[in-house]
Amino acid sequence: MLPFLYHSEGMKKMKYQQLITFILQQIGGKENILTVTHCMTRLRFTLKNDELVKEEELLKSPDIMTAQFAGGRYQIVVGTHVAQVYQELQQTLGLADNAPEEQKGFLNSLIDTITKVITPVLGILTASGLLQGILALLVVLNVLNTDDGAYIILHAMGQTVFYFLPVALGYTSAKAFKLNPYVGMMLGASLVIPELMTNLTTNEALYTLFQGSFFETPVYKTFFGLPILFPANGYQYTVIPVIFMTFVGAKVERFLQRVIPAILAHNLNAFLTILITVPLSILFIGPVTNVLSQLISAGVSGLYTISPIVTSIVVALLYQPLVILGLHWPLSAIGINNLATLGSDYIFPMSFTANFAQTAVVLAVFLRTRSKETKTLAIPAMISGIFCIIEPAIYGFSLPVKKRFAFSMLGGAVGSVILALFSAKMYTFSFGALGFVAFINPETGSMTGLYLALLATAATMAVAFLLTYFTFSEQVAHEPKDSLIHSEEILAPFTGTVKPLAASQDATFAKGEIGKGIVITPTEGELRAPVSGTVTTVFPGGHAIGITSSSGIEVLIHVGIDTVELKGTGFAVEVVPGQKVQQGQLLGTVDLAAILTAGYDTETVILITNAQEYLDVMMTEQTKVKNTDLLLTVIPFAQNKEIAFAVEGN
C-alpha cells in the first residue's frame, strides 16, 4: 500500500477504506471484533479470538507503524490520522457510535457542555476558595496585614487559578469540542498574556467607536486596519470567551484536517488553527461577549431606578445562572463603581446570599445521601461555598440535578428580597462568611445591616435546604453500558496481600502506562469476578482476563509476571469472551504452587484500563483482602448526568 500522501478528501477516504479492509482481513474479520476504540495514534481492538490475528502480515503494511497486544486489547498504531481511520472503521462496522446524537435541546446541550468544561477544574477552584477564605480569616484576626510578604504570596496563590482560568478552560473546552487540548491551552493563554492588555488599552486612543452611545469604546490599536476592541480589564477571570474560542478553533481544526495532507498535518494544523482562531476571537468573539455584559449592566441599573424590590428578585434569580456563564462580572462592576463613588452599594446585597443557598443544597444532599463518595465531595464544596466559591457546589451538586439549582435560586431570591425591603447596603467588597462585616456602616457604626444580613442568610439557607432535603430520593440509575453512571466498587478477585501499583515488579504496570490499579499477591487460587459485566477477552493460556462492567469500566486481571510463557500451565479458566458474569462469580482457578515451582511470580495486577475517563480510582487501605472485599473504587466525573453520584433525577 502507498502511504497517506493524498490531498483530496476522496482519495483519503479511499486509502482509509483500503487500510481498514486490510486490517479486518488480518484480525479475523468483522465478526471477531467485540469493541474498538482509539487514542492519539492507535486503534484498540477487543477481539473474540486473539489467535486469529496475523501479526506478521499486519506489520508488512507501510501504513501500520506497529501492532501488538497490550492492556487486554490488540493495538494497531496507524499514526496521527487515527481519528479519521476510526471514523471510517465505525461506518464499516456499523457500530452505534455513528448513530445520530440525541437531540437534547439548546438549554440542556448548553448546560451539558459547560458542565463538561468546568467539572475537571473543580479541584483547583475549591483549593483557591479555601486558600482565600483562610487568608481573609488571618487578616480579620490580625495575624497578617495586607502588606506582609506572606499575605502577598498567599493572595497570589489564591488568585492564580482565576487569573489563568482561561488557560485551564482552554484545555477542558478543547476536550469537550474534540480539539487538540494543547491548542486549546494556547488559545486560552492568548487571552490573558499581559502584553495584550498593556499594549492594547493604553496611550492615546486612535478614535472612538459608537461615540455618544452606551457602547462607546476607545480604539487604541488596529489589526490590519480592523479596530481592536479589547476590554480595559482584559479577559482574566472570564469563562464564556474561551469556550466560544475553542468551539470555533475545533471547527477550524476539523476543516484543516480535511484539506491538509496527512504528511503536513502534524506541523501545520496546530499552527494554522491558532493563527486563524486567536485574531478572530480578539476581533469578534471577545467584543460580542463584552456587548452582552454591557447590556446586562444597563438592564440592572435601569430596573433599579423603577423598583428596588423587583430588581432584587431579578438579580437574585439571574445571578447563579450568570455565574455558570461567567457573565456575573458586570454586576460586580456596577457594585464596585457604587462603592467607589457613593461609599455604599445596593447590588452586592442582592447576590450576597447566593453562595449560602448553594451551601444549603449541598448540606441537604450530604445529610440524605448514602454514597460515601458524595459525602466526601460535599465537605470541601460546603467549605468553599461558605467562602463564596460556589462553582464546586454548582457543577458538582446542584446543576446536574436541575431542580436543586432552582431551589438554590429561590433561596437566594428570598434573602435578596429581605435585604431590599429594608434597603440594606454593603460598604465594602467582601462576601461569604467573612462578608457580614461589610454591612456595618463605617460612619455611624450601625449594626442594623449586619443583623439583616444574618436574618436574610438564615431564610435563604432554610428555603434551599428544606426544598432539597424533602424532595431528595436516591435511586440506582439505568444507562447504556458505555456511559459513566456512578461510583463503582471493584472487589478483590483473589484472597491475598495488597500493595500499590507503583510497587509492581513489572515496569510497564508500575508506571501506570496501561491504567490505574493495584497489586495482589494471591494466597488462594480461586479467581472471582471483581465486577458484574461482560467478559471481553481471555488471553491465550488464561493468564489474563478482561471484563467490562455494566457501567463501562474496563477491568483487566493479569495473573503473574511473564506467565504467558507457561502457555496455560496452572490456569483453569471457566469463562469465555462475550459471557455475562456476576460480581463474585468464579472465573477459574490458578495453581499457585505450580506457577511458583515453574519459577514465576504470582503477583497479580488489577487495572482499570480506561481510568482516564474517570475522576479517580481509589485503592483500599487494607494490606490483606479476601476475594469478596472492596479493592478499588472508581469515581466518575460530575458531568456524567445527574446520576453521577447515584442521586435523584430531574
Residue 293 has pLDDT above 90, yes or no: no
pLDDT reported for residue 481:
37
Please say whether the dihedral angle defined by the alpha carbons of residues 166, 170, 176 and 177, taken in this order, is positive or negative. Answer: positive
* End-to-end CA, the chain: 54
Region of residue 229 (left: phi > 0; alpha: psi -120 to 50; beta: else): beta
One DSSP character per residue, 432-471 reads GGGGGGGGS-TTT---HHHHHHHHHHHHHHHHHHHHHHHH
Q: How confident is the model at residue 644 (pLDDT cuts 50, 70, 90)?
A: very low
Number of continuous H segments (helices) and E segments (strands) in the chain: 22, 22
Please say whether the dihedral angle defined by the alpha carbons of residues 237, 240, 241 and 244, taken in this order, is positive or negative. Answer: positive
Kindly report which listed range (63-72, 511-520, 599-608, 633-642) carries the lowest average pLDDT score: 633-642
pLDDT reported for residue 301:
72
Region of residue 308 (left: phi > 0; alpha: psi -120 to 50; beta: else): alpha
Please say whether the dihedral angle defined by the alpha carbons of residues 232, 233, 236 and 238, taken in this order, is positive or negative. Answer: negative
CA distance 619 to 140: 40
Q: Which of 108-122, 297-311, 400-414, 603-617 has the highest average model confidence (pLDDT)? A: 400-414
- Quick one: which of 54, 94, 65 has its CA closest to 4? 65
Mean pLDDT, rounded, for 609-620: 81
Cα–Cα separations (whole angstroms), residue 454 to 314, 438, 458, 463: 21, 12, 6, 14
Q: How confident is the model at residue 480 (pLDDT cuts 50, 70, 90)?
A: very low
Region of residue 336 (left: phi > 0; alpha: psi -120 to 50; beta: else): alpha
- Residues in a beta bridge with 33: 47
Kindly report which listed range (107-111, 352-356, 395-399, 499-503) carries the lowest average pLDDT score: 107-111
Mean pLDDT, rounded, for 104-118: 60
- Catalytic residues, by residue number, are 39
**Count of other CB atoms within 10 angstroms of residue 209:** 14
Q: Are 325 and 239 in contact (CB under 8 A)?
A: yes
pLDDT reported for residue 356:
93
Select the more confidently predicted residue: 458 or 235: 458
Q: How confident is the model at residue 478 (pLDDT cuts 50, 70, 90)?
A: very low
Spatial strand order in the sheet of 496-500: 580-581, 533-538, 544-549, 554-559, 604-608, 516-522, 496-500, 624-625
- Quick one: which of 556, 502, 503, 501 has its CA closest to 529? 556
- Residues in a beta bridge with 516: 608
Q: 297-315 burial, b for 16+ CB within 10 Å, e for fewer?
A: beebeebbeeebeebbbbb
Q: How confident is the model at residue 483 (pLDDT cuts 50, 70, 90)?
A: very low
- Quick one: which of 60, 56, 81 has its CA closest to 1? 60
pLDDT reported for residue 407:
93
Q: How confident is the model at residue 160 (pLDDT cuts 50, 70, 90)?
A: confident
CA distance 56 to 181: 35
Q: Which residues contact 299 (CB under 8 A, 6 or more apart)?
A: none
Kindly report which listed range (348-357, 376-385, 403-412, 455-464) carries the lowest average pLDDT score: 376-385
Cell numbers at residue 620, please?
483500599
Q: How confident is the model at residue 333 (pLDDT cuts 50, 70, 90)?
A: low
Backbone angles phi, psi at 417, to 5 degrees: -65, -40
Q: How confident is the model at residue 45 (pLDDT cuts 50, 70, 90)?
A: confident
With 0-12 / 13-18 / 19 or more C-beta atoms within 10 angstroms meaning exposed / middle / buried, residue 192 is buried
pLDDT reported for residue 272:
93
Kindly report which listed range (116-125, 298-307, 364-373, 428-437) carries the lowest average pLDDT score: 116-125
Residue 550 has pLDDT above 60, yes or no: yes
Kindly report which listed range (324-338, 344-358, 573-587) carries the lowest average pLDDT score: 324-338
- Quick one: which of 528, 496, 515 has its CA closest to 601? 496
Q: How confident is the model at residue 641 (pLDDT cuts 50, 70, 90)?
A: very low
CA distance 499 to 622: 9
All structural domains of the chain, each given as residue ranges with its CATH number in brackets, are 1-93 (3.30.1360.60), 108-306 (no CATH), 350-481 (no CATH), 488-636 (2.70.70.10)
Q: In percent, how much of the chain has pLDDT > 90?
A: 22
Cell numbers at residue 475, please?
435511586
Q: Are 364 and 465 in contact (CB under 8 A)?
A: yes
Q: How confident is the model at residue 457 (pLDDT cuts 50, 70, 90)?
A: very high
Q: Which of 84-98, 176-190, 327-341, 462-476 has the highest average model confidence (pLDDT)? A: 176-190
Residue 9 has pLDDT above 60, yes or no: no
pLDDT reported for residue 463:
96
Kindly report which listed range (88-102, 366-380, 444-458, 589-603) carries the lowest average pLDDT score: 88-102
pLDDT reported for residue 384:
76
Mean pLDDT, rounded, for 178-189: 91
Cell numbers at residue 509, please?
504496570
Q: In percent, how much of the chain has pLDDT > 70?
A: 81
CA distance 370 to 478: 18
- Residues in a beta bridge with 426: 345
Q: Which of 37-41, 206-210, 274-278, 285-289 has the highest average model confidence (pLDDT)? A: 274-278
CA distance 303 to 396: 33
Residue 131 has pLDDT above 50, yes or no: yes
Q: What is the dihedral of CA 41, 47, 53, 58, to 10 degrees?
A: -20
One DSSP character per residue, 1-20 reads ---S---SHHHHHHHHHHHH
Backbone angles phi, psi at 141, to 5 degrees: -85, 5
Cα–Cα separations (whole angstroms), residue 365 to 126, 257, 370: 18, 46, 9
Mean confidence (pLDDT) of the chain: 80
